[in-house]
Amino acid sequence: MTATSDMKEHLIVGLDVPTVAEAERVVRDLEGVASFYKIGYQLVFAGGLEFARDLAASGNKVFLDMKLLDIDNTVAKGVENIVRMGVSMLTLHAYPKAMRAAVEAARGSDLCLLGVTVLTSMDEQDVIEAGYELDPHTLVLRRAEQALQAGMGGIVCSAQETEAVRRIVGPSMAVVTPGIRLAGGERGDQKRVVTPRDAMRNGSSHLVVARPIVGAVDRRAAAQAILDDMRSA
């Protein structure tokens, strides 16, 4: 992961924009610098699913951030249809039954299923308020172990937990890290943030970066700064 072309495979740009037209502008702005994009709720409900298909068909990689959670059959049927879209990654909440259903539904495909552990916008008080007795770090590690046991392709967690997570899941599983900010950058609503360099050093395989790139005046320069910081690890 020393060349820029290789590092692009590990940077996922979050297309957290209100319209497909704006997402298309972001992709055009980043042509040659980025090739992996996250599509989440905001864009999905504005025509983003068709855009995801088109983006994947054009040779880009797509991380569909749906955070699925439902009864086993519903999760399985959803995953079966998502497999046909040609996207590379899909998130679901890291509940054991849901993960097992998703793994079975995706079996034989190239879709990488990611278990979302604890959102990076949540701190210990938020986790307590949600009814969990475990602190965020302990909860992340438990869910990482459950994702491994379920046969998931990877997990999503803060880079603050990545080093400990790697000791559980080993070198093969993807560890995808949101909440990435350059040193001195605006945190926004993220509470557990880490720099790109530290995230890669801690064992993250992919970094998800949205506002620091999409909201920048010069998106290419912002993406390149993230890539440079990743390479410095």
pLDDT of residue 118: 76
Using alpha carbons, select from 17, 27, 30, 10 the residue that is nearest to residue 159: 10
Q: pLDDT at position 186, please?
A: 62
Residue 126 annotated in active site: no
Q: What is the pLDDT of residue 137?
A: 83
For the question of residue 65 being annotated catalytic, the response is yes
What is the arithmetic mean of pLDDT over 9-23? 97
59-107 pLDDT, tens digit per residue, is: 999 999 999 999 999 999 999 999 999 999 999 999 999 999 999 999 9
Q: Any residues with CB less than 8 A from the CB of 6 and at least 6 apart, and which? A: none
Burial class from Cβ neighbours inside 10 Å (0-12, 13-18, 19+) for residue 167 reads exposed
Q: Encode pLDDT of 204-223 as tens digits.
A: 999 999 999 999 999 999 99
User: Residue 190: pLDDT above 60?
Assistant: no
What local confidence, expressed as pLDDT, does residue 3 receive?
Answer: 43
List residues forming the annotated binding site: 16, 38, 65-74, 120, 181, 190, 210-211
Candidates 67, 126, 191, 228; catalytic one: 67
Binding site for substrate, by residue number, is 16, 38, 65-74, 120, 181, 190, 210-211
Confidence band, pLDDT 50/70/90 cuts, at residue 128: low
Give me the domains of the chain, ranges plus CATH numbers. Answer: 4-231 (3.20.20.70)
- Predicted pLDDT at 12: 97
Contact 14, 214 (CB under 8 A): yes
Looking at the chain, the whole-number percentage of residues with pLDDT higher than 90 is 76
Mean pLDDT over the full length of the chain: 90
Residues found in the chain: 233
- Would you say residue 24 has pLDDT above 50? yes
Long-range contacts made by residues 136-139, C-beta under 8 angstroms, separation at least 24?
136/161, 136/192, 137/161, 137/164
pLDDT, one tens digit per residue, over 145-154 is 999 999 999 9
User: Is a pLDDT exceeding 80 seen at residue 130?
Assistant: no
Active site residue 54: no
Q: Which residue in 6, 29, 54, 70 is the catalytic one?
A: 70
pLDDT at 213: 96
The pLDDT assigned to 2 comes to: 41
Pair type for strands 206-209 and 11-14: parallel
What does the pLDDT average to over 140-147? 94
pLDDT number for residue 5: 47
pLDDT at 1: 42
